[in-house]
Chain A
């Protein structure tokens, strides 16, 4: 009989590189930087680690070509024949690496493990992401469907469903981006560290109508790492460890965008993963029970819809319940992405899911670095990470909290 994961596994150390256009670092540098920081945080050494999960979408193949295996990490960190499992779920890769590590501990297969998420994209010579659809997917169907293009379809659908003019809709989204930049500016490790105004957001060049430049995250290099053990061993490493309260990972049956009853205004996989994780963590009312949420806001519309699909506010009520009340600020009723989010902290694809947990971990410990964004009494947080595109997501929801 399945028992669930609640409180069985603890995070005792975490690391996160500075996110951004890391012209100075290759993928190995980023893996090392995040892992060394996590090891130092936990007070352990590389040789103490018994198993590793490496999450990366492209690994180094963007630049080097060829396959990506766990040896990318074992050769970088000179781990000596411990298992390194490479996992990949597109932009939802980070959550998957943590999940693998957690279940290995719960199964008592290992005692101390490492999860790393990393992406190195800025060696390609152009902006944007590699065009994975073209060639890997069906040769013609779906060709040229980019991330911004696909998410923007959800914005158009949301505006249409709730009777918003594009101007009204874009205004709601602009407030989200202003908030993201506000926190990015206050986070020393963030990629985009400049505040923006509503006017700047609204007047920015168009990327994929109705989404403008400031509605979209950048392309970021970075890595994040976590050292985990079973909760009974956690005190050996530190007092202020956090525990995993619940996991939900859901793969949408897909083709959601082809079902005529899918309307693009909710993320089906997010709803499923959230319900899984809430059940396991014993959360009845997310808006009340959660102290903070780090959610997958690769685009402003992604934050809006994820907030509704995680049940942080009612469907179609984001403006009233989140935006108008400034509920999503760190001193608001339901703080969301006080790290700056994928939007401003950055989105190195494979790293993001792990990086979101890093933010909650630091907030619980009172170590948010900048006093202006340190929240009080954080006990329970949720990290939401998804890969794919509207109608066909794989989504990971990770709930962590003070033991």
Chain B
């Protein structure tokens, strides 16, 4: 039987308090939402969730990567291929992007289950991440948050089985972006809830329960999508779920509506607290709806040390003001200065792909020392390159050796914190520090690596590894 072998999730460290939106635009609003850092997008968040999911799992065992999002950073050029490289997966895998629908995630999940059942892949990694930018002062602005979830689908040692699913496809239009839009467009909510969300969800869940001969009371938890908290509560009532015991917290107050990632992030939250034998109802919406019965299996006890939802939620930095938020999301135009614009070379990026994307360094077979980036000759014993063997480094933790905070660099969120980090195994990496509280940086603090968007140069998104304080 095909099912979930492992799971992981990611929530960016920044939160925007809805009170700040109230100060800018008027009105109230409680809680906060999770906001991707300026150097994050759906690709980098996918790498984070994927890393979390693959903890303790041989990366070379993954046969396919399905990436789901409504916000692929490239309109033409696959995102999954970049994610696969940053996760250091094999080259002979199938990678695919599932895009454009809020249900991309659950659709990708089905495709993965089918592939495993058919035997064409043994293990498929499904990652869903979204980083939607709502229009300023729109009803969506307080709602939208950013995040990601990942599932490894396989056959052995299952943490959860998918007992049944029901998929419903509909041409209903309620929220959309045209090919040239950055900001979403919407139709009147009274219509989109009454004719869209409510009936479609209800129909999908009802059909599933009927086919599986089961009822709402049989579920320990329900993890389902809703456009907002009120609609979520109403749907729980409609589905006859007990709000206190059966509804997995959809995190509207702390994370927000994470789009395509929403239902599956909520499922990760439910799995974190589940025990073998539990049944979880999962439902997603967008261009129709789908519903699933997830039965928690014995393997759940082996999925440990995930940052998932719970641990990620513990790490947060509050955005100080709205100005920072619009700067992070590129919603504001600044003075053009004659400073040299960043440049890039796709040729060089291709040559250097194993260290730029895969974070490989060199281990010298003569003196045993590891170095980053890869060298022509060992920088310790000068052995020539036939002694230098590539080793992956992105998983290694380290400590901050020294740093500075440069106020004068043209980065989106100064200061630019330059850092020398000593990774486990005696390798030094020079990098920019991200997700940092500038008042709380100390020599010797534990660090880890994270895949980020470095800059957009010559119209290309350029990714590389940065360091950040360990989330532990």
Q: Which residue of A lies closest to B345 (CB)?
A: A139
The answer to whether B463 and A146 have CB atoms under 8 Å apart is: no
Known: A140-B464, A148-B408. A153 touches B418 (CB 8 A): yes
Min CB distance A164 to B, Å, is 12
Q: Which residue of A lies closest to B419 (CB)?
A: A153
The answer to whether A258 and B372 have CB atoms under 8 Å apart is: yes
The answer to whether A135 and B408 have CB atoms under 8 Å apart is: no
A255 within 8 A of B: yes
Q: Which residue of A lies closest to B458 (CB)?
A: A135
* Chain B residues with CB below 8 A from A253, complex form: 379
The answer to whether B344 and A135 have CB atoms under 8 Å apart is: yes
Known: A160-B443, A260-B426. A255 touches B404 (CB 8 A): no
B385 within 8 A of A: no
The answer to whether A145 and B418 have CB atoms under 8 Å apart is: yes
Stretch from B49-57, B107-115, B207-215, B335-343 contacting the other chain? B335-343
Once the chains are docked, how many angstroms separate the CA of A145 from the CA of B405?
11
Stretch from A121-129, A273-281, A363-371 contacting the other chain? A121-129
A157 within 8 A of B: yes
Q: Which one of B352, B371, B401, B418 lies within 8 Å of A149 (CB-CB)?
A: B418
* Chain B residues with CB below 8 A from A377, complex form: none
Interface residues of B in 319-339 (CB under 8 A from A): 337-339
Min CB distance B371 to A, Å, is 6
The answer to whether A142 and B455 have CB atoms under 8 Å apart is: no
The answer to whether B455 and A130 have CB atoms under 8 Å apart is: no
Once the chains are docked, how many angstroms separate the CA of A260 from the CA of B419?
13
* Chain A residues with CB below 8 A from B416, complex form: 144, 146, 149
The answer to whether A264 and B420 have CB atoms under 8 Å apart is: yes
The answer to whether B428 and A150 have CB atoms under 8 Å apart is: no
Stretch from A27-35, A78-86, A201-209 contacting the other chain? A201-209
Min CB distance B7 to A, Å, is 31
B139 within 8 A of A: no
* Chain B residues with CB below 8 A from A156, complex form: 402-404, 443
* Chain B residues with CB below 8 A from A209, complex form: 404-407, 415
Starting from the known contacts A145-B418, A205-B407, A209-B405, 8 additional A-B residue pairs (CB-CB under 8 Å) come to: A140-B463, A144-B406, A144-B411, A148-B406, A160-B443, A206-B415, A208-B406, A258-B429
Once the chains are docked, how many angstroms separate the CA of A144 from the CA of B345?
16
Q: Which residue of B lies closest to A256 (CB)?
A: B379
* Chain B residues with CB below 8 A from A257, complex form: 420, 428, 430
B153 within 8 A of A: no
* Chain A residues with CB below 8 A from B420, complex form: 153, 157, 257, 264
Known: A144-B432, A145-B418. A157 touches B407 (CB 8 A): no
The answer to whether B404 and A153 have CB atoms under 8 Å apart is: yes
* Chain A residues with CB below 8 A from B342, complex form: 131, 134-135, 143
Q: Can you list 25 A-B contacts (CB < 8 A)?
A: A130-B340, A131-B340, A134-B340, A135-B457, A138-B356, A139-B348, A139-B349, A139-B457, A140-B356, A140-B464, A143-B454, A143-B464, A144-B406, A145-B430, A148-B406, A148-B408, A155-B404, A156-B403, A160-B402, A206-B407, A209-B405, A209-B406, A257-B428, A258-B379, A259-B428
B254 within 8 A of A: no
The answer to whether B408 and A138 have CB atoms under 8 Å apart is: no
* Chain A residues with CB below 8 A from B419, complex form: 153
B172 within 8 A of A: no
* Chain B residues with CB below 8 A from A207, complex form: 406-408
Per-residue A-contact encoding for B379-407, CB less than 8 Å = 1, 0 else: 11000000000000000000001111111
Per-residue B-contact encoding for A198-225, CB less than 8 Å = 1, 0 else: 0000000111111100000000000000
Query: Interface extent on B, as a size class?
Result: 35 or more
A23 within 8 A of B: no
Min CB distance B412 to A, Å, is 11
The answer to whether B375 and A126 have CB atoms under 8 Å apart is: no
Once the chains are docked, how many angstroms separate the CA of A78 from the CA of B420?
49
The answer to whether B422 and A126 have CB atoms under 8 Å apart is: no
The 10 closest A-B pairs by CB, nearest first: A135-B343, A152-B404, A149-B406, A157-B402, A209-B405, A140-B464, A125-B338, A208-B406, A139-B344, A131-B340
Chain A interface residues toward B at CB < 8 A: 124-128, 130-131, 134-135, 138-146, 148-157, 160, 205-211, 253-255, 257-260, 262-264
The answer to whether A208 and B407 have CB atoms under 8 Å apart is: yes
B368 within 8 A of A: no
The answer to whether A141 and B464 have CB atoms under 8 Å apart is: yes
Known: A140-B349, A153-B418, A253-B379. A146 touches B428 (CB 8 A): no
B73 within 8 A of A: no
* Chain A residues with CB below 8 A from B216, complex form: none
* Chain B residues with CB below 8 A from A260, complex form: 369, 422, 426-428
Q: Which residue of B lies closest to A150 (CB)?
A: B418
Q: Which residue of B lies closest to A125 (CB)?
A: B338
For B339, B372, B403, B418, the residue with the greatest tally of chain A CB atoms inside 10 Å of its CB is B418
* Chain B residues with CB below 8 A from A210, complex form: 404
B365 within 8 A of A: no
* Chain B residues with CB below 8 A from A152, complex form: 404-406, 418
* Chain A residues with CB below 8 A from B355, complex form: 141
Min CB distance B82 to A, Å, is 13
Once the chains are docked, how many angstroms separate the CA of A146 from the CA of B444?
23
The answer to whether A146 and B406 have CB atoms under 8 Å apart is: yes
* Chain A residues with CB below 8 A from B337, complex form: 125-126
The answer to whether A134 and B343 have CB atoms under 8 Å apart is: yes
Min CB distance B348 to A, Å, is 5
Once the chains are docked, how many angstroms separate the CA of A152 from the CA of B188?
55
Q: Which residue of B lies closest to A257 (CB)?
A: B430
The answer to whether A258 and B349 have CB atoms under 8 Å apart is: no
* Chain A residues with CB below 8 A from B356, complex form: 138-141
The answer to whether A140 and B454 have CB atoms under 8 Å apart is: yes
B301 within 8 A of A: no
Q: Which one of B371, B432, B462 lies within 8 Å of A258 (CB-CB)?
A: B371
Min CB distance A252 to B, Å, is 11
* Chain A residues with CB below 8 A from B454, complex form: 140, 143
* Chain A residues with CB below 8 A from B349, complex form: 139-140
Min CB distance B128 to A, Å, is 26
Known: A160-B443, A210-B404. A259 touches B380 (CB 8 A): yes
B409 within 8 A of A: yes
Once the chains are docked, how many angstroms separate the CA of A264 from the CA of B355?
24
Known: A138-B352, A208-B406, A258-B429. A131 touches B339 (CB 8 A): yes
* Chain B residues with CB below 8 A from A206, complex form: 405, 407, 415
* Chain A residues with CB below 8 A from B405, complex form: 152, 206, 208-209
The answer to whether B422 and A142 have CB atoms under 8 Å apart is: no
Once the chains are docked, how many angstroms separate the CA of A91 from the CA of B415?
25
Once the chains are docked, how many angstroms separate the CA of A207 from the CA of B414?
11
Min CB distance A216 to B, Å, is 9
* Chain B residues with CB below 8 A from A255, complex form: 371, 375, 379
* Chain A residues with CB below 8 A from B462, complex form: 139-140
Once the chains are docked, how many angstroms separate the CA of A152 from the CA of B417?
10
Once the chains are docked, how many angstroms separate the CA of A293 from the CA of B455?
42
The answer to whether B407 and A138 have CB atoms under 8 Å apart is: no
Known: A126-B338, A134-B457, A141-B373. A154 touches B402 (CB 8 A): yes
Per-residue A-contact encoding for B343-362, CB less than 8 Å = 1, 0 else: 11100110010011000000
Once the chains are docked, how many angstroms separate the CA of A310 from the CA of B448?
36
The answer to whether A146 and B408 have CB atoms under 8 Å apart is: yes
* Chain B residues with CB below 8 A from A254, complex form: 379
